[in-house]
Amino acid sequence: MELQVQPGDITRTAADAVVNAANSTLLGGGGVDGAIHRRGGPEILAECRELRRTDYPDGLPAGRAAATTAGRLPARWVIHTVGPTYAKTPEKYRQKSETLASCYRESLRVAVRLGARSVAFPAISAGIYGWPMADAARIAVETVRSLVGEVGDDIDRVIFVPFDDAAEQAFRAALDA
């Protein structure tokens, strides 16, 4: 399983699955969530509504992941995951770091179940949810690396898609660590 950094707009990333930094309602939002729904089209929201009606009547909990069609995106699936909002206090930071790690872990497990061979991630929680980029990138890379044994035979490529220079530097530094 290869880990790559491809800066740009994740709605244009040609991976089998792209991960959305969603919120628990699954009904869209700003940031990458807004971009994916805008460019992916209404089919994505229709399937999100179906997820709410069936599997997640109370919303998708933070740290969990669920897949829909990718609609008009180059990808085949969107894997929606809900990151934690940043917290400074040590106790909350520890719990929420685990929730952020779970976003990557659960998204890759969903990807394996779908049969996706390549998965693209944005910097989950590092935008509106306020997580410091360097730490968000570190948790992302460390978590994906820790899963090579479990998913490495099923997933060929994991692509981190930073949206600006600072994010790109953070992910490249995390990969070099």
Catalytic residue set: 33
Identity (one letter) of the amino acid at 164? D
Identity (one letter) of the amino acid at 37? H
SS3 4: strand
Q: Is the Cβ of residue 34 or residue 61 nearer to ligand APR in the bound state? A: 34
- In the range 80-119, which residues lie near ligand APR by CB under 6 A? 83
Structure tokens at 158: 């994991």
Chain length of the chain:
177
Q: Is the Cβ of residue 87 or residue 150 nearer to ligand APR in the bound state? A: 87
Per CB under 6 A, the segment of 16-24, 41-49, 87-95, 142-150 that binds ligand APR is 16-24
58, with CB counted inside 10 A (0-12, 13-18, 19+), is exposed
Q: Is 77 in the site for ligand APR (CB under 6 A)?
A: no
- In the range 20-39, which residues lie near ligand APR by CB under 6 A? 21-23, 29-35
Q: Is the Cβ of residue 22 or residue 65 nearer to ligand APR in the bound state? A: 22
Question: Which residues is 22 bridged to in the sheet?
Answer: 82
Nearest to 22 by CA among 113, 119, 138, 121: 121
Q: Is the Cβ of residue 114 or residue 166 nearer to ligand APR in the bound state? A: 166
Among 80, 125, 139, 171, binds ligand APR (CB under 6 A): 125
| Structural contact between residues 6 and 169, judged by C-beta atoms closer than 8 angstroms | no
Binding site for ligand APR (CB under 6 A): 9-11, 21-23, 29-35, 83, 122-129, 161, 163, 167
